[in-house]
Amino acid sequence: MKKRSFISVLSIMIIAALTMIACEQNKSVEDIDLMTAEDDAIADLAYDDVFTQVDMVMNIMDAFGYMMPATKSELDTCPVISIVSSTDAFWPRQIIVDYGDGCSHSLRTRKGKIIITVSGPMWEEGSSRTVELEDFYINDHKVEGTRVVTNEGRHMEGEYEGKRYFSVVLTGGKVYVPDSDIVISKEVNRTRTFVEGEDTRWDTRDDIWHINGTASGVNRKGIPFTREIISPLWKEIGCRFITKGTVLISAEGRPDVILDYGDGTCDPEVTITVGDEESRTINLRRW
């Protein structure tokens, strides 16, 4: 009788232990894969913020012919914008966007410098723009990396035929999470196609870009991953979030992760599906 009791108790203990292990494994899958997806989305949003700022500044430069205007009141506010030319020739030109110890706007505080080197007018095919960051922060997240954007002309065929597009290559990308030792790494190879707003070049409020391409990175746990845009990401200048599109994230030994940015509504929510698991939602509002 005692022997049977002992076996029963042992069986219960084994079942309980197996249940705990299974729960931990499920938790591990959920935590690690959601973490990878969230890290990717955070890094993407950080770089999108940087380069939206660059586009705004460069539109001003286009308007003034890459010269400082006689009346600089529009440019004297934070950040301070200056132009440097290292040769007697007009091109290349370097634009320095200096946020100093902090400029706050639209729920974000930016610090440090964005340094932009332009080979020629960006609306001319073949012109390129190199963006470097110097002690640059967004809401206390330090952001590093070098991005080269090149005007590739217009698509010759396919759904974007006739639309202007740019190649985008990011190297050495890193986002440092404040008050922690967390670093998110990212490298990018993409195209950005100007699908709406080109006819009103001086008014960016109606601009819509479609983004395609691939990226690779390392999440906060040191797990490498790759990222492929499987339906174009929509970037509308009037919204600080990606409004539409889907992304496939793959990591060795992990289930595939799908990020779905929604139906075009400007909101901070991204739906994540891990393997065959049910979908979950993350909120990027803090950005």
Residue range of the domain that includes 141: 26-217
244: in domain: no
Contacts 24+ apart (CB under 8 A), 185-188: 185/217, 185/218, 186/40, 186/43, 186/44, 186/47, 186/145, 186/215, 186/216, 186/217, 187/215, 187/216, 187/217, 188/47, 188/147, 188/213, 188/214, 188/215
Could you tell me the pTM of the whole model? 0.80
59: in domain: yes
14: in domain: no
287: in domain: no
DSSP code at position 177: P
- The pLDDT score that the predictor gives to residue 285 is 67
90: in domain: yes
223: in domain: no
- The pLDDT score that the predictor gives to residue 12 is 33
229: in domain: no
Per-residue pLDDT of the chain (287 residues; tens, 9 = 90+): 444 443 343 333 323 333 333 333 344 445 777 788 888 888 888 898 898 899 888 888 887 888 776 545 455 578 999 888 767 788 899 999 999 999 998 788 999 999 999 999 888 999 999 999 999 999 999 999 999 999 999 999 999 999 999 999 999 999 998 888 889 999 999 999 999 988 876 677 788 999 999 999 998 888 899 999 999 999 988 888 899 999 999 988 888 999 999 999 999 899 999 887 778 888 876 55
12: in domain: no
- The pLDDT score that the predictor gives to residue 286 is 57
Give the integer Cα–Cα distance in Å for 33 and 257. 7
State the total domains in the chain: 1
